[in-house]
């Protein structure tokens, strides 16, 4: 049976909730989070802010250089969660097969839906209209034969748009798809692929398989599948968490290794508390540490572990610190990687 997958993605969700509740914000650049005092990071921003180059996860100082009149809002997570719950309840009217990805996006499988005579396009249009009518928020949607293509499609007509990739259009769509648009390919991987002459999906088939495997290991199989528009993943309503972590950005750069080491006990205690709140049955399979240096470059070091251990974190910190080659540290993060509930190794997923 040909699957029909819809990906719903709310438009600048946190900022949209703020603009809905205060219409005077609609036409000015706003951003959520990003304290000026504590060297914060932008959590979300609206489209007027994006015109100036402001993006989520951008340091506040950089955002304010690009847009000096940017209005910073502290954000209100309880409002965003309430809006998200309302949206998910709307989605549940259209399918029993829903996979939330975050507060503001989700997949739906409507392959067997009788609504609109089985037209996924018309179902997606109705979902967008109902979300707008009942929440005052706009959503973009992608419709495609699989999750990978549906997610890409939802970004094609943002904001407040719909894009459909029919089964017979997949080959033509993939032929022109830039390699960096594949979810999971970040700037570093994209550069490695560009260096090999891979810019659009079909380019990857000019590389010898042995070279591809040598460069990307097991990831090469997923690359080959996605570059053909193939994705066999099913909609899963019970997603398992892959990691739990905590991190902290410091108001002043840390100059010495010993100062970094002194931060670990507090971070570890916060991590243990977060693990307790998660109440997950998934066993821990690895422990990692992340450092972000004063030039915003970062490094991560991990090793196999069955519990969060201060001694192991201290060892990982030394390795990460040495990679900095004398640079000071602005952020420290620690996390545990979780195995699935039947103790198998987590599968790599784009």
Q: 128-139, pLDDT tens digit by residue?
A: 999 999 999 999
**In terms of Cα–Cα distance, which of 275, 295, 296, 274 is closest to 284?**
275
Active-site residue, from 99, 105, 125, 269: 105
Is the CATH number of domain 243-338 1.10.1760.20? no
Tell me the CATH class for 14-77: alpha beta
Domain ranges of the chain: 5-10+78-165, 14-77, 171-226, 243-338
The pLDDT tens digits of the residues spanning 59-82 come to 888 999 999 999 999 889 999 999
249 three-state secondary structure: strand
How distant, in Å, are the alpha carbons of 32, 119, 156, 287, 302 from that of 350?
A: 28, 27, 19, 21, 20
Architecture of domain 171-226: Orthogonal Bundle (1.10)
Measure the CA–CA gap between 70 and 197, rounded to whole angstroms: 39
All residues at 6 or more sequence positions from 270 whose CB lies less than 8 Å from its CB, including other chains: 246
Distance set, CA 30 to CA 37, 135, 161, 338 (Å): 17, 20, 22, 36
The fold of 5-10+78-165 is Alpha-Beta Plaits (3.30.70)
Could you give the CA distance from residue 139 to residue 11 in angstroms, rounded to a whole number? 5
Confidence of residue 36 (pLDDT cuts 50, 70, 90): low
pLDDT beyond 90 at 347: no
From start to end of 23-118, where are the E strands? 30-33, 42-45, 71-73, 98-102, 105-109
Q: Which residues are annotated as a binding site for Mg(2+)?
A: 9, 104
Q: What is the pLDDT of residue 348?
A: 31
pLDDT in tens, 293-331: 988 888 999 999 888 889 999 999 999 999 999 999 999
The yes-or-no answer on residue 105 being catalytic is yes
Q: Side-chain half-sphere of 17: how many Cα atoms within 13 Å?
A: 21
The reply to whether domains 5-10+78-165 and 14-77 share a CATH topology is no
Question: Binding site residues, as ranges?
Answer: 9, 104
């Amino acid at each position: 049976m040909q699957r029909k997958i819809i990906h719903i993605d709310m438009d600048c969700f946190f900022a949209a909730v703020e603009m809905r509740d205060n219409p005077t914000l609609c036409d000015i650049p706003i951003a959520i989070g990003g304290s000026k005092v504590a060297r914060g990071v932008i959590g979300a921003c609206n489209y007027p802010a994006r015109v100036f180059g402001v993006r989520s996860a951008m340091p506040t100082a950089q955002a304010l250089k690009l847009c000096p009149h940017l209005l910073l809002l502290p954000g209100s997570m309880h409002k965003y969660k309430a809006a998200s719950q309302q949206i998910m309840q709307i989605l549940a009217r259209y399918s029993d097969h829903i996979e939330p990805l975050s507060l503001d996006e989700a997949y739906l499988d409507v392959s067997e839906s009788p609504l609109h005579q089985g037209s996924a396009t018309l179902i997606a249009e109705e979902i967008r209209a109902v979300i707008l009518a009942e929440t005052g928020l706009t959503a973009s949607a992608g419709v495609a034969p699989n999750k990978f293509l549906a997610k890409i499609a939802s970004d094609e007509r943002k904001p407040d748009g719909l894009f459909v990739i029919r089964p017979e259009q997949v080959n033509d769509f993939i032929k022109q798809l830039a390699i960096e648009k594949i979810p999971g390919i970040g700037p570093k991987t994209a550069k490695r692929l560009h260096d090999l002459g891979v810019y659009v999906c079909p380019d990857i088939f000019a590389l010898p398989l042995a070279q591809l495997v040598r460069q990307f290991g097991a990831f090469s199989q997923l690359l080959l599948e996605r570059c053909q528009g193939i994705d066999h993943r099913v909609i899963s309503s019970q997603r398992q968490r892959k990691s739990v972590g905590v991190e902290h950005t410091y108001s002043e750069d840390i100059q010495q290794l010993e100062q970094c080491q002194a931060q670990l006990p507090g971070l570890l205690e916060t991590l243990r508390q977060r693990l307790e709140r998660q109440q997950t049955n998934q066993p821990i399979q690895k422990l990692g540490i992340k450092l972000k240096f004063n030039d915003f470059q970062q490094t991560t070091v991990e090793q196999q572990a069955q519990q969060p251990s201060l001694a192991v974190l201290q060892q990982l910190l030394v390795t990460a610190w040495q990679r900095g080659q004398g640079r000071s540290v602005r952020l420290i993060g620690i996390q545990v990687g979780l195995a699935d509930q039947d103790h198998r190794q987590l599968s790599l997923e784009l």
